[in-house]
């Protein structure tokens, strides 16, 4: 816990203790009911649908973001740690205990993995050795391009993730990594939950997807990062259809 968050917790505890002890004939002393939205960006006072629209707008307008956590799709769990911006993205993905890296610059997508990935994918141990640690160009016409490029596309990924299902409602004030948040839910949580920052821009900070389809945290909003083309001696063409799992 950060020093700021610790100080806030101690202050809140002290106020609660004082208010519990000091009462008047009409109830607690004035000021003992601390406003949880005091000093915030104000979105905590809005209806859930307004909070959702504001946090989606904030996410769409941000230049970059880092997201980490799990996504369950088609019965398979992917663990992601990706940095994304409008021009592409980079990071790592793990599925079934095997990790691989993704790098997209513009329309060009690269996949980088160890021999274990390639051996697991097609059973060709000689191919795995040749491709070990190399950036493999993924052709746009290959089925794997659409599947893997989605992990590197900020707009596509966030549009699909930042949607709660069912009736929206607020679910109290919380904290994520030392930042105060307001939580909104879909269908009382069964349709997903989203923690939205109450400090500064109302960015989404933590998402629990509906139906246990994964949990993600969002950070480094608006912080740019470099996307660098791999060197020629680090790049190879696979030469046939790439694996999609």
**Domain chopping of the chain, boundaries:** 1-34
**What span, in angstroms and rounded, lies between the C-alpha atoms of 107 and 144?**
14
Residue 19 pLDDT > 50, yes or no?
no
Task: Reduce the DSSP state of residue 162 to 3 states and report it.
Answer: coil
Between the two ends of the chain, the Cα-to-Cα distance in Å is: 38
- What are the backbone angles phi and psi of residue 41, rounded to the nearest 5°? -80, 0
pLDDT at position 79 is 97
- Give whole-number Cα distances, 228 to 59, 138, 174, in Å: 24, 16, 38
pLDDT digits (tens, 9 = 90+) for 97-118: 899 999 999 999 999 998 888 7
Mean pLDDT of 157-171: 94
pLDDT digits (tens, 9 = 90+) for 128-154: 567 888 999 998 888 888 889 999 999
> Percentage of the chain with pLDDT > 70?
79
């Amino acid at each position: 816990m950060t020093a700021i968050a610790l100080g806030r917790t101690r202050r809140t505890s002290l106020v609660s203790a004082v208010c519990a002890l000091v009462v008047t004939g009409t109830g607690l002393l004035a000021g003992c009911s601390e406003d949880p939205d005091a000093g915030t960006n104000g979105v905590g006072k809005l209806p859930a649908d307004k909070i959702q629209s504001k946090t989606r707008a904030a996410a769409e307008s941000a230049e970059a973001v880092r997201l980490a956590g799990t996504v369950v799709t088609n019965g398979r769990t992917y663990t992601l740690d990706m940095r994304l911006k409008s021009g592409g993205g980079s990071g790592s993905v793990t599925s079934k205990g095997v990790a691989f890296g993704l790098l997209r610059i513009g329309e060009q997508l690269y996949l980088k993995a160890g021999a274990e990935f390639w051996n697991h994918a097609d059973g060709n141990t000689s191919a795995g050795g040749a491709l070990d640690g190399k950036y493999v160009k993924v052709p746009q016409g290959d089925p794997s391009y659409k599947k893997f490029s989605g992990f590197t596309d900020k707009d596509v990924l966030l549009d699909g993730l930042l949607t709660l299902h069912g009736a929206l409602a607020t679910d109290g004030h919380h904290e994520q990594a030392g930042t105060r948040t307001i939580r909104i839910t879909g269908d009382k949580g069964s349709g997903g939950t989203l923690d939205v920052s109450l400090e500064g821009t109302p960015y989404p900070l933590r998402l629990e997807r509906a139906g246990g389809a994964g949990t993600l945290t969002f950070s480094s909003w608006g912080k740019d990062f470099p996307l660098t083309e791999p060197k020629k001696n680090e790049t190879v063409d696979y030469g046939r259809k790439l694996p999609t799992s």
